Chains A and B, each alone.
Chain A
Amino acid sequence: MANVFAFAESRGGALRRVAFEAVSAARALADASGGGEVHALLAGAPGIASLAPELGKYGADVVIVVEHPGLANANAEALAATAAERIRAGGYRAAIFSASAQGRDLAPRVAAKLGVSMAADVTSFELAGDALVVRHPAYAGKVIATLRLTGSPAIVTLRPGARAAVEAPRAARVENAQPASDPAASKVVVKEMIAGGGAKLDIGDAPVIVSGGRGLKSADNFRLVEDLAAAFGNAAVGATRAVTDDGWRPHSDQIGQTGRQVSPELYVACGISGAIQHIAGMRNSRTIVAINKDKEAPIFKVADYGIVGDVIEILPVLTAAVKEARAKG
């Protein structure tokens, strides 16, 4: 029987979905190892404690609450010190973080502080004796690696969206704790937070992504992509490297081998030829639609459904059709 630690990521005083994914994964691991406890670390500005019951819903037995004004913005140094101290003291079998931007920044520091190895961006894990065996997409998603992590605690970052957060309610009891280092003494300071320019929904979270490439011919035509995304209601807008290089869209919208890797329910590729570099970022989408005027474009090889034609003509018609279909319910 072993306890499992989970890091509950929050931003702006609200828990992010990946926090529930981490707790849920910790719950599954604790259950698989004979039913230990899940301890979730919840750190933030004063008042964050009110979110503790939400973590209980996903299986946290204990919520370690660390409140400090210096933790209003992400403070990797203080969070890493706090998490490492707690993990060291708690004798956990494993510590689960999300492989979100913050998690990828935090977990390696914690692992190095503890002098233990960590497995990154895993899509699944299971205990095998004294090892944790994980799966991790590598080589631009073209190869799946199965890795064996020994040593305790096993530190893992979980790919966002790879494991759904599953409710498994526990009466989470709160333990208050202090940050292990003074947040005000951290060397890296967040000077400013900038809300996502225009995009309401991040491409990592959106169930639908509508993405545009060179076939749109100009930055202005991206509004056709935005219109379609709006018609879906729950869609984010992505872009290829070619159009982010040209400055039509910000780099953070780039989907591809050196950009974001996404796996939405539906990916609509508009005016995208399907360079290998781009496909590496979206090949795991559940359903892929492609619109391109070139019948030979490589994108049609990965698409489930394709329309051959001028994306500029087709998008408005598709947008209207999607609006109508959704209105009908």
Chain B
Amino acid sequence: MKIAVCIKRVPDMETRFKIAASGTAVDESGLKYDMSDFDGYAVETALQLNEKQGPGETVVISLGPDVVQEQLRKALSMGADRAVQLKADKVPADGLAIARALAAELQGGGYDLILFGRQAVDSANATVGPMTAELLGLPCATAVSTLEIANGRATARRDLEGAAEIVEFPLPAVVSVDEGMPRARYPSLKGIMAAKKKPLEVKPAQLGAEHIAIEKMELPPERAAGRIVGEGTAAVPELVRLLHTEAKVL
């Protein structure tokens, strides 16, 4: 199958973030970057589908400045065949602009399947995948936790609150992947070397107008310090008392 996977470069979420002097962005100094978690699952899904179903092509696409080539090369070292950077000075806050640029690249590409992560772990909007599907006029299933493909049709599970749906749809289609999909393999060392020889194309991103601007980024208020109530089962009565009288949740 010809599969496209759209990936995003994000900072390591284990970081204790600081706000930049501008007040409208996170301070980037010293940050480590990687592919967004769910995007990694999407690349892995594509690779496994093509490994299982015979020869195919996995193309990875990322929008942003030249540094995103690092994440594209990681996908290539995992086993993707070729990469495309849609070059933009920065990743817009407006998902529709990103979707427009991706749709322009994906249109006419003859893809059987276009994969996204459910959401980028930094911006956490979950909009670009389904918007891109809509702009391409393709069927779309979001936040799938299982995906099976046979004879040009897909079956997927989507978890809802307190329930789940099993959906079926024809290819070509757009799918965004969630927990439950396979974790990203770590690139083998040979894969890292091989990635250097795989094609990585740079094209300008056709973003169009943007209608969302970041006005401010701030840290949430710190939680007040808590306390250890006691040790072992002996502490239970005191905990229950506090939950009743102080926290008033019991």
**Do A and B have CB atoms closer than 8 angstroms in the complex?**
yes
CB B106 to nearest CB in A, in angstroms, measures 14
Asked if B250 is at the interface of the complex by the 8 Å CB criterion, the answer is yes
Question: Who on chain A is nearest to B244 by CB?
Answer: A325
A251 & B158 in contact (Cβ 8 Å cutoff): no
Residues of B close to A259: CB separation below 8 A = 179
Can you name 29 A-B pairs with beta carbons within 8 Å?
A74-B165, A101-B158, A108-B95, A108-B126, A112-B130, A112-B131, A117-B210, A120-B126, A121-B124, A133-B215, A143-B17, A146-B217, A148-B214, A151-B211, A187-B139, A187-B169, A188-B168, A188-B169, A195-B162, A196-B164, A204-B161, A252-B159, A258-B37, A276-B13, A304-B247, A307-B228, A309-B235, A313-B232, A318-B239
A95-149, CB < 8 A from B: 100-102, 104-105, 107-109, 111-113, 115-121, 133, 136-149
Question: Who on chain B is nearest to A207 by CB?
Answer: B249
Cα distance A153–B125 in the bound complex, in angstroms: 18
Question: Who on chain A is nearest to B156 by CB?
Answer: A188
Cα distance A7–B71 in the bound complex, in angstroms: 38
A307 & B235 in contact (Cβ 8 Å cutoff): yes
Residues of B close to A67: CB separation below 8 A = none
Asked if A33 is at the interface of the complex by the 8 Å CB criterion, the answer is no
Question: What per-residue 1/0 map shows which CB atoms of A177-213 lie under 8 Å from chain B?
Answer: 0000000000111111111100101111100100000
A109-B131, A280-B13, A308-B230 are known; give 19 further A-B pairs, CB within 8 A.
Answer: A74-B165, A101-B160, A105-B130, A112-B99, A117-B96, A138-B217, A188-B141, A190-B165, A192-B165, A196-B162, A202-B161, A251-B179, A266-B243, A276-B13, A300-B228, A306-B227, A307-B228, A307-B236, A325-B244
Known contacts being A121-B124, A196-B162, A325-B250, is A143 close to B143, with CB within 8 Å?
Answer: no
Question: What per-residue 1/0 map shows which CB atoms of A274-317 lie under 8 Å from chain B?
Answer: 00110010011011110000010000101111111110011001
B145 & A251 in contact (Cβ 8 Å cutoff): yes
Known contacts being A101-B143, A191-B166, is A266 close to B247, with CB within 8 Å?
Answer: yes
Cα distance A119–B26 in the bound complex, in angstroms: 19
- Count chain A residues whose beta carbon lies closer than 8 angstroms to a beta carbon of B: 97
Cα distance A307–B232 in the bound complex, in angstroms: 7
Residues of B close to A325: CB separation below 8 A = 240, 244, 250
Total inter-chain residue pairs, C-beta < 8 Å: 278
Question: Who on chain A is nearest to B220 by CB?
Answer: A144
Q: Chain B contact residues: over half helix, strand or loop, or mixed?
A: mixed
A235-268, CB < 8 A from B: 244, 251-252, 254, 257-259, 265-266
- Count chain B residues whose beta carbon lies closer than 8 angstroms to a beta carbon of A: 86
A143 & B218 in contact (Cβ 8 Å cutoff): yes
A313 & B160 in contact (Cβ 8 Å cutoff): no
Residues of A close to B121: CB separation below 8 A = 139-140, 257-258
CB A141 to nearest CB in B, in angstroms, measures 7
CB B195 to nearest CB in A, in angstroms, measures 25
Asked if A76 is at the interface of the complex by the 8 Å CB criterion, the answer is yes
A44-101, CB < 8 A from B: 73-74, 76-77, 80, 100-101
Asked if B70 is at the interface of the complex by the 8 Å CB criterion, the answer is no
Asked if B189 is at the interface of the complex by the 8 Å CB criterion, the answer is no
Question: Who on chain B is nearest to A109 by CB?
Answer: B134
A137-174, CB < 8 A from B: 137-151
Residues of B close to A149: CB separation below 8 A = 211-212
Choose among A191, A244, A302, A318 the residue that contacts B236 (Cβ–Cβ < 8 A).
A318
Choose among B37, B134, B214 the residue that contacts A147 (Cβ–Cβ < 8 A).
B214
CB B107 to nearest CB in A, in angstroms, measures 14
Asked if B216 is at the interface of the complex by the 8 Å CB criterion, the answer is yes
Residues of B close to A232: CB separation below 8 A = 250
Known contacts being A188-B139, A302-B226, is A148 close to B213, with CB within 8 Å?
Answer: yes
